[in-house]
Amino acid sequence: MTSQEVDPITLDIIENALKSARFEMDEVVRRISLSPVIREQHDEFPMICNERGQMVVGQFGSYIPEVLQKFDHQVNDGDVFIWNDPYASKGSISHVNDWCVMMPIYHEETLVGFSSIFGHMIDVGGKVPGSMPADSRTIWEEGLRVPPVKIFDKGVLNEGVLDIMLNNSRTPDTNRSDMMALIAGTRAAATRVGEICDRFGRDVYMQACDLLLARTRQAMQVLIHKYIPEEPVSFTDYVDDDGRGNGPFKMTLSIYRRGDIAVFDWTGTDDQAEGPINFHIHEGLCKLFFGVYMIMAFDPDILFNEGFYDLFEIVLPEGSLLNPRFPAALGNRLNTHTRFFDCQAGALGQQAPHLSMAAGYGTSPHFIFTGHDKNDKYFQLVELLFGGVPGRPRGDGFDGASWWPLFSATPIEYIENYYPVMIDSYRPIRDTGGPGLHRGGCGIEKIYRVLAAGEISIHDDRETIPPWGINGGMYGGTSEKYILRVGQDEPERIPSKFDNLKVQPGDKIIYRTAGSGGWGDPYERPAAEVARDARHDLVSREMAEERYGVVLDDTSQVDESATEAAREKLRKARGPAPKFDFGPLPQGIMAAAD
């Protein structure tokens, strides 16, 4: 049968069936898992691949061919593979907290694909609870490293591997449940793929997968020629620090087109850090990150898969922040990972500023609280926080939202029910969203009041390097952290990356994440929308006047004549709207675009 015999209607049905199976993987995992990071916040990433290991639907690109090489491509029905070592799996996952499972999918004894999913385990050992020490210098300090092994061999559980993995965690029961949830998710996908093969025929299914990859490739080729210039464009941004007092760390991206090939070159990025912000990225994942940005920014209707991989060329200098040498520490690589996205937006935005977005809150903020409750039972709360999502061509950025698809905040009721913590306040932070025609999203302030003695770890960024604005938009607000101890009148500032902060019952942690940059000229923003933001306590009257040119009365209503005069004066003083607004930078630091 030739590929032309897969008619368009059948192809669409198979595409949507695979998408449904991919979301079913999510739901199975969430319903079985125990940790709030997976169950409530959805920190897990599934994919379904063809028989060659190429992702057909999913969120992260395929790492399967490299894993299979370690087993000389000998796989069997009923096998399930597991690993968490970024170096031993060539960057398929990026820190040891991520446990990745993968299983081959067979239909009538014929290999038709693979399903895989990885999720964040709340503890895998290492020198601090949560396994993400802010000051680690090597991966040895961050927890147990497991290379790709079979956790199930032809359907039989390898109890020895499981015992070793659970014996090295402070939360073995939770990890076991979460791991089995991941495996159940891959099996759900295998069941659905088998049903598709039964319905349409195995050959039709496999050809449809190839057609879906080819269709994405064709669409990406159009985007490359339309939005990637032949002359290189470059962009530079910074990670604040590495948790050990070093930094800021420069990340420089150059983008250009050579024929049909888009080149993404990270030459100029700083050498690997002493601390754990290094991002050991798989080349395929790097391609995928660029691809998903281009699809979401320029044509969201394109199916997200690996069909375009041969159209991208990646340059990752060895020994750099994005290609560190073993055994560099990797635990807090999300500070670098999310700056990766900001650099993409800055570089691609020079070619198509009307379609690009500003910079966001620039990391994945973590709050970790551990100790023993009143019954002397060990507890470990791990929560991801969110910040301002950037202003964008289609509208304002979101306040206190996630970078990651499908992520959500942990319900306050869940935290207060299962952990000795009260949430005193959870709200957006006024004036942290960068002004623009489309305002940047605001950061959030979350105040934790602890009810038991224990220790706190905090991981965040964009404390010193603001999120920049684009296309005339202005920079957004930076992050801050404080502790207000019982009996103190004034809070004490604490670093954005810090472990083992001892707390007593009644102490409060004030956690403020960064906002995001604005998009477009703020003097063009409708004055009524600025007034609405002021009434919602997202923008102060001072910022409304000084950075939007909108004059408000005591009831936050617009003074039309005063606003017109203020905007005219501000436009004259500013001149043409700048392409980027990087805000106040530390001495000697210069973000750049060209």
Q: Are 143 and 131 in contact (CB under 8 A)?
A: yes
Angle at which helices 8-32 and 202-227 cross, to 10°: 90
Spatial contact of 277 and 460, defined as CB atoms under 8 Å apart: no
- DSSP E strands: which ranges in 207-258? 233-239, 249-258
Q: pTM for this one?
A: 0.94
Nearest to 414 by CA among 122, 41, 36, 27: 36
pLDDT at 66: 83
Provide CB contacts within 8 A for 568, sequence distance 6+.
none
Cα 544 versus chain centre, distance: 31
CA atoms within 13 A on the CB side of 217: 18
Mapping DSSP to helix (H, G, I), strand (E, B) and coil, where does residue 240 land?
Answer: coil
C-alpha angle with apex 258: 471 to 297, nearest 5 degrees? 35
- Nearest-angstrom CA–CA distance, 27 and 248: 39
3-class secondary-structure state, position 249: strand
Spell out the domain ranges in the chain.
Answer: 3-218, 357-521+577-587
Structure tokens belonging to residue 114: 């693979």
Structure tokens at 286: 């790097």
SS3 496: coil
Q: Give the end-to-end CA distance of the chain in Å, rounded to a whole number.
A: 51
Alpha-carbon torsion, ordered 331, 336, 340, 341, to 10 deg: 80
Q: In this predicted model, what pLDDT tens digit does every residue of 430-461 receive, in sequence order?
A: 999 999 999 999 999 999 999 999 999 999 99
Q: Give me the pLDDT at residue 304, please.
A: 87
Q: Which residues of the chain have pLDDT under 70?
A: 1-4, 592, 594
**Residue 452: exposed, middle, or buried by beta-carbon count in 10 A (0-12, 13-18, 19+)?**
middle
48 φ, ψ (degrees, to nearest 5): -125, 130
Residues 6+ apart with CB under 8 A from 424: 447, 448, 449, 508
Residues counted in the chain = 594
What is the pLDDT at residue 463? 96
User: Judging by beta carbons within 10 Å of its beta carbon (0-12, 13-18, 19+), is residue 19 exposed, middle or buried?
Assistant: middle
Instruction: Give CA torsion, residues 409, 414, 415, 421, to 10 deg.
Output: 140
- In whole angstroms, what separates CA 52 from the centre of its chain? 27
Residue 45 backbone dihedrals phi, psi, to 5 degrees? -135, 110
- With b for 16 or more beta-carbon neighbours within 10 A and e for fewer, the 89-98 pattern comes to bbbbbbbbbb
For the record, the structure tokens of 364 come out as 């994945």
Give Cβ neighbours of residue 229 (< 8 Å, ≥ 6 apart).
255, 256, 257, 351
Phi/psi-derived region of residue 224, left when phi > 0, alpha when psi is between -120 and 50, beta in every other case: alpha
**Residues 360 and 387 sit within 8 Å (Cβ to Cβ):** yes
Measured distance CA(308)–CA(343) in Å, rounded: 21
Give the type of residue at 353: P
Model pLDDT, residue 2: 42
Q: What string of H, E and C letters represents the secondary structure of 91-103? A: CCCCCCCEEEEEE
